[in-house]
Amino acid sequence: MLKLIKRCLEYVQGYREYCRELYENGEPYFRPTPPDAIDETWFERTKPWYDKKEQGLLPGVARSCHYWAVDGDRFIGEFQCRTDFTEKVLFDIGSVGYAVRPSEWGKGYGTMILRQGLEIAKSLGMERVLLTVNEENRPSIRVIEKLGGVLADTVDAYNETEGRHRLRRYWIML
């Protein structure tokens, strides 16, 4: 059964494998941690940064809560929720980031992660979330629309991995 859990030492190895799969797949729509940076001390080393990020204490960075998606001992994917509507959130990254490791695509995990993630967003006090998605990212568009995403508009956007692209902005009411 899929669960969203807080980041923890027990699943660091799985997280590294997941990041490596996304990297080797050349995934343009989600930028994971570079797998080679995830060494023995990575979890402890980065914990203070993630804790600050979660409390909204990093200057210029939207408050962001991170969860890992696991099914038994298998690492499946991740979910991130940004609770502030900064300019970057509104016109680039959205309130939600989610991904599934490529070897597990098409099995319903993306839908489960977003469904459970929306419950988390609600528990964090959010009344609605914004999902931004590249117009070409059909699987994510399908998942977002299945879970009630209402298209607000489509805007021109640019970032390093996707280049110039059309970005769909969807609201989901919680």
Ligand X SMILES: CC(C)(COP(=O)(O)OP(=O)(O)OC[C@H]1O[C@@H](n2cnc3c(N)ncnc32)[C@H](O)[C@@H]1OP(=O)(O)O)[C@@H](O)C(=O)NCCC(=O)NCCS
Which residues are at the interface with ligand X (CB under 6 A)? Answer: 27, 29-30, 98-100, 105-111, 133, 137-140, 142-143
Which tokens hold the place of 169? 């902005």
Q: What is the DSSP letter of 84?
A: S
Cβ proximity to ligand X, 83 vs 111, nearer residue: 111
Return the residue nearest ligand X (CB atom).
110
Cβ burial, residue 31 (10 Å; 0-12/13-18/19+): middle
Q: How far apart are CA 81 and CA 96, in angstroms?
A: 5
Closest CB 94 distance from ligand X, rounded Å: 7
Element holding 110 (H helix, E strand): helix 109-123
* Residue closer to ligand X, measured from CB, 55 or 148: 148
Kindly state the smallest distance separating residue 154's Cβ from ligand X, in Å.
14
**For ligand X, the closer CB: 54 or 92:** 92
